[in-house]
Amino acid sequence: MSAFDPKRTLRGSLMHFVRLGEFLAVSRITGPTHNLLQIRLDGTGSRPICERLPAAGGCSHKPLDEDALVRYVLEGVAEANGELGTAYSVAHIRYVENDTPPEVVYGFMAKRLIERLHSGSEFVPGLSTES
């Protein structure tokens, strides 16, 4: 695990939750850092598809480690499942090519997304990105 402590660092971070067709999305923008995570859930538990979305805006950063991002997302969902007594599983992950590290943030975001879904809290309807 990274030395990054999301509970300490992300305390009070504003996250936005959106439903995009079959995908649930969470984003956080704190100024110099920005992250978008979109996930589609299913019941199979097989390895998810991971899709890198085109860069947004003009900034560039060291590329995210996709394997680490997937690992952290799955860990975040597993942690939420353990705490909630649920069995959500991820079929498809999307992230933006020029989003900022560290990858562990995506695990924290995935956990918060599952907690929000389980609690019945709102996901704002967005435009579907599916063709």
Question: Would you say residue 1 has pLDDT above 70?
Answer: no
Which of 10, 16, 12, 52 lies closest to 33, judged by CA? Answer: 10
How does the average pLDDT of the chain come out, rounded?
Answer: 87
Q: What is the pLDDT of residue 9?
A: 46
Q: How many whole angstroms separate alpha carbon 61 and alpha carbon 119? A: 35
Provide the pairing of β-strand 34-42 with 89-96.
Answer: antiparallel
For 5-20, write each residue's pLDDT tens digit.
Answer: 555 445 446 899 999 9
Question: Would you say residue 63 has pLDDT above 80?
Answer: yes
